[in-house]
């Protein structure tokens, strides 16, 4: 688990939003601006980028020079958080390649093992049961088209 003071974290976030605004301004330079009476697609993002940079800068100044009586320490993340986030993002790569049932079974099994006291074999069994039940509920009952594996 990382630890950071609240002030440092806020500064990092305001810095990131400043960078996002700046990237917005840079990328909107290549977009057509149109005319004054018919604004093009580049106008709004450029305007928003400028405003975001300005507000982020003001926020940074406020954080740096504003009065904070105590240095509050904030704990960030632990293995459950990073593992779960990585698993969710990883699902997007394998979802259509391996199919809903297999991917969900692995995902649920992984989470059950991570979060509960169940043994691996119990996690995998329950995970497959849950994945098949979810497939039946969403695919057949609700009509949501879920992917089957590419080799089926």
Choice between 108 and 124, CB closer to other proteins: 108
Q: Which of 97, 92, 99, 89 is nearest to 146 (CA)?
A: 99
Extract the tokens encoding 78: 């632990």
> Which among 137, 143, 62, 73 has a CA at the least distance from the CA of 101?
137
Candidate list 80, 119, 129, 140; residue touching other proteins; CB under 8 A: 80
Min separation Cβ 85 and other proteins, Å: 5
What mask, x for binding other proteins by CB under 8 A, covers residues 30 to 69?
-xx--xxxxxxxxxxx--xx-xx--xx-xx--x-------
Structure tokens of 48?
């928003």
The torsion defined by the Cα of 107, 109, 111 and 116, in degrees rounded to 10, comes to 170
> Looking up tokens 């098949």, which residue turns up?
132
Is 134 among the residues that bind other proteins (CB under 8 A)?
Answer: yes
User: What is the SS3 assignment for 1?
Assistant: coil
9 binds other proteins (CB under 8 A): yes
Whose CA is closest to 107, among 87, 93, 126, 135? Answer: 87
Q: From CA 99, how far away is CA 120, in angstroms rounded?
A: 22
**Contact letters for other proteins, residues 89-118 (x by CB under 8 A):** x-xxx-xx-------x--xx--xx--xx--
> By CB under 8 A, is residue 29 in contact with other proteins?
no
| Residue number with CB closer to other proteins (138 or 148) | 138
Q: Which residues bind other proteins (CB under 8 A)?
A: 6, 9-10, 13-14, 17, 20-21, 24, 27-28, 31-32, 35-45, 48-49, 51-52, 55-56, 58-59, 62, 74-76, 78, 80-81, 84-85, 88-89, 91-93, 95-96, 104, 107-108, 111-112, 115-116, 130, 134, 138, 142-146
């Amino acid at each position: 688990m990382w630890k950071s003071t609240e002030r440092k974290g806020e500064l990092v976030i305001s810095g990131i939003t400043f960078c996002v605004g700046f990237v917005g301004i840079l990328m909107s330079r290549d977009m057509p601006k149109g005319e004054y009476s018919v604004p093009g697609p580049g106008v709004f993002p450029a305007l928003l980028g400028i405003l975001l940079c300005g507000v982020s800068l003001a926020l940074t100044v406020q954080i740096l020079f504003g009065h904070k009586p105590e240095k509050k320490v904030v704990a960030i993340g632990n293995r459950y958080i990073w593992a779960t986030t990585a698993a969710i993002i990883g699902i997007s790569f394998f979802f259509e390649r391996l199919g809903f049932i297999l991917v969900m079974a692995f995902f649920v099994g992984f989470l059950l093992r991570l979060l509960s006291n169940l043994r691996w074999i119990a996690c995998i069994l329950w995970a497959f049961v849950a994945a098949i039940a979810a497939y039946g509920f969403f695919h057949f009952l609700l009509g949501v088209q879920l992917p089957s594996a590419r080799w089926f």
